Each structure stands twice: as C-alpha cells, then as structure tokens.
Amino acid sequence: MARMSNPLLDFNDLPLFDAIQPAHVTPAVEQLLAEADAALEAVTKPGFPARWEAMAGSLDVATERLGRAWGAVSHLNAVADTPELRAAYNEALPRVTEFWTRLGADERLYAKYKAIDPATLNAEQRQAHANAVRNFVLSGAELQGPARERFAKIQERQAELSQKFSENALDATDAWSYYATAEELQGVPDDVVQTARANAQADGKDGHKLTLKMPCYLPVMQFALSSALREKLYRAYVTRASDQAPEELRKFDNTGLVREILALRQEESRLLGYRNFGEVSVVPKMAHSPDQVIKFLRDLAVRAKPYGRKDVEEMREFAARELKLVDPQAWDWPYIGEKLKEAR
C-alpha cells in the first residue's frame, strides 16, 4: 500500500482519524516497523558516529513516525472500538511491544548514547540525553541473561493484560442497558430522552434505552428527579468489569488481570533493583520517592479538607431544605450539585 494512500503513513499534518480504517493498521505497522528496524541497525553500526544530531536525524524520525501512527490506532481503539479495529490492534500489539522493548534494551544503542560527549550538546540536548540514558536503564538495558529475557516477557505480558483490561471495561459498559419509562426520566433534558427513545426503538423495545456511556449517564445523574433511577445507573457504573457486577456481566471481571499486573510490576521492579513499582514510577518524575508523594498528598488533604467540609455542609443543607433529601447518597451528589448551581 503506498504511503500516501494509507492515512497512518501520512505525516504532513494532524492525524487523519476520520480516514483510518482497520485495513490500514497492519500494512502501516509493518512498513513503519521495518523503517524503524532499519534505522536502529544503521545507527548501531560501528562506523556510525556517536553524535546527537546524526542519531536523532535517523532513529528518532523513524521511531517518532511509528509512535505517532500507533498512537492514532490506540486512540481510535479506545474511543471508537469495533470488532475489526480491535482485531487489527491485537494482531499488531505484540510486534509493536516487542520492538519498543527491544529498542529500550538494545546494548549497542545504549553504548552509542553513553559515548555521546555531553559537552557537544546544548542545554536542551543534554537534558534529553540524560533522560534517554535513564530510560535505557529503566528499560532493562543493563540486565543480562535470564533476567533480560524475563524482563522482555514481562513487558509483552503487561501489554496484553492492559489491552484486555481496557477491552473488558469497554465491553462491560456496552453490555449494560436499562429501558426506563417516561415517568422515570422526569427532569432529564429532552435531547437525552429523545435519543434514549430512538435507541430503544432501534432495539425493538418499549421505553427509553439508558446506557453507561457519558452522553447518557452524566445527564441522568445530574438531572433525573428519580433517586432510584440514579442509584440504578450509579451502581452499574461503579461495578463495571468487577466481581461486584451483575452475574451475567462478571465475564468482564478485571480482578484477576489487576492482580497479575501488580505482580508483574513488582517483579519488574525487583529486576531493575527497586523495592516496588512506586520507586520505579517516580524515577522520571519531579518527586524523589513514593514517600514524598504520599506526604504531599496528605498535606494537600489537610489543607483542602476544611473547604471540602464547608462545600459538603452547604450541599447537605440545600438538599434537606430544597430537595427533601436528608441523607444524600453517592448517586445524589451530582443531582444536588446541579440543582444548587441552578438555584444560584
């Protein structure tokens, strides 16, 4: 497929999301991986100069194109999922993951970066160079033998688990629906009611089809007069893809995936010489340790809590006085907040 006939290979402007089709994914990924591999082999040859501009002009261009194209595919897979796109994404995912894992742990490339003289770089390049060397270490470039092989397996498995986690969350959201009566939808904006009615008719059902997707879920939580309806949607939303979901939807339970992801993160951390994944996570960040992060959050909570209490008390008083809600529950707060804004 020619470069310009495949929107994933067009880098002249912003990503052409409206033109990308599942059939574009495999040929684009194959071509961009081949170009990135070729660039990697070129810059790691003994005769290739260990100079920032030369390496960036070859390898960074190729990997940036791969990253941009794969980022577009990943975004569409998250927000416009179809069976065809999901299949194309899952087919390419192992190969893309393997490349990035191999790139980050390539000893030849790591040696080239370490051979660059920081004195030849400007301030921005020196920082980028320092970040690159740091990322090599975090990507397992200094691991050897079985540890190196295991690290690569962990990266591949984590990519698979993360994708399955997202699919379960999306499928659980799509699988739930409730057909409400017109009386239950009192207070909900007309356009939301009309859409729900049309969706029910498309299913050959009476009533109004409510889902957990934000264009439906949020306005129901904000405007529906029925606390029972808000509770129904709230409980369905917060238990998606969990062992607390209705029995028929527990096939999307992510509990096992979460446990395996946490175990793999712990193993990855130990391979890199850290006690836990929190320590790995803060390495490229401004915080110096997980304890510093916790202290910051606790200090922020102490400072914010009085204002939060004040807001809650105002909402409680308003709910009791104006809405006859004397004991607001979790599903009532968006409704109370919207009514308070209207009153003001």
Count Cα neighbours of 283 within 13 Å in the Cβ-side half-sphere: 20
Residue range 141-195, pLDDT digits in tens? 999 999 999 999 999 999 999 999 999 999 999 999 999 999 999 999 999 999 9
Residue 1 has pLDDT above 50, yes or no: no
The predicted structure's pLDDT at residue 92: 96
Between 80 and 25, name the one with better pLDDT: 25
Lowest mean pLDDT among 2-16, 72-86, 118-132, 251-265: 2-16
| Rounded percentage of the chain residues whose pLDDT exceeds 90 | 97
Residue range 40-53, pLDDT digits in tens? 999 999 999 999 99
Alpha-carbon span 73 to 311, nearest angstrom: 42
Residue range 264-274, pLDDT digits in tens? 999 999 999 99
What is the average pLDDT score of the chain? Answer: 95
Residue 2 has pLDDT above 80, yes or no: no
Q: List the beta bridge partners of residue 208.
A: 180
Task: Say which amino acid occupies 281.
Answer: S
